[in-house]
Structure 1
Amino acid sequence: MSATELQFRTATFGGFQKQDVLSYIESSNQAHVEKLEQLQRERDELAREKEELAAQAEQARQQVQALTREKEELTARLAQVRKEAEALRTGADDQKSKLEQAAAQLAQANARLAQAEPAAAAYAQIKDRTAGIELEAHCRAQEVQQAAEEKVQRAHTEVSQWLHKVQAGYDLLRSDMEGAVSRATQELDKLHQMVEQLSSHFDSQDEHLHKLTQDCMSEFAPPAPEPLPLNEK
Structure 2
Amino acid sequence: MEARNFKSVAFGGFDKEEVIQYIQKTAQENTEALEALQRENGSLRAENESLREQMEQSLREREDAAKKETEALREQIRALTAELDELRPQAQSYREVRSQVGDIECQARRRASELESATTMRLNALIVDVRRQYQEMSSAFSATAGQAAAELRKIEVSLTQLPRAMDQTGKKLEEIVSAVDNQKK
Q: Distance in 2 between matches of 1:148 and 1:182?
A: 50
Unaligned stretches of 5+ residues in structure 1:
1-35, 216-233
Whether 2:85 is the aligned partner of 1:111: answer yes
Give the C-alpha shift of residue 80 in structure 1: 1.6
Give the C-alpha shift of residue 205 in structure 1: 5.5
- Per-residue CA deviations over 1:102-158 (Å, capped at 9, x if unaligned) read 333333233233322221111322212323322331232123223212221222222
Q: Distance in 1 between matches of 2:67 and 2:159?
A: 36
Is the Cα–Cα contact under 8 Å of residues 88 and 112 in structure 2 kept in the other structure? no
- Of residues 2, 9, 12, the one that matches 1:39 is 12
Q: Give the percent of matched residue pairs that are identical in Structure 1 and Structure 2.
A: 6
Q: Distance in 1 between matches of 2:94 and 2:57?
A: 55
Is the Cα–Cα contact under 8 Å of residues 46 and 205 in structure 1 kept in the other structure? no
Partner of 1:102: 76
- Of residues 56, 64, 69, the one that matches 2:43 is 69
- Of residues 154, 174, 183, the one that matches 2:148 is 174
Whether 2:52 is the aligned partner of 1:78: answer yes
Map 1:49-198; keep pairs closer than 5 Å. Answer: 50=23, 53-54=26-27, 57=30, 58-194=32-168, 197=170
Over the residues paired in the alignment, what is the CA RMSD in angstroms?
A: 3.6
Question: Number of residues paired by the alignment?
Answer: 177
Q: Distance in 2 between matches of 1:194 and 1:72?
A: 27
Q: Distance in 2 between matches of 1:51 and 1:102?
A: 77
Give the structure with higher Rg (CA).
Answer: 1
**Where do 4+ consecutive residues of structure 1 move more than 6 Å?**
none
Q: Distance in 2 between matches of 1:83 and 1:194?
A: 41
TM-score normalised by L of structure 2: 0.71
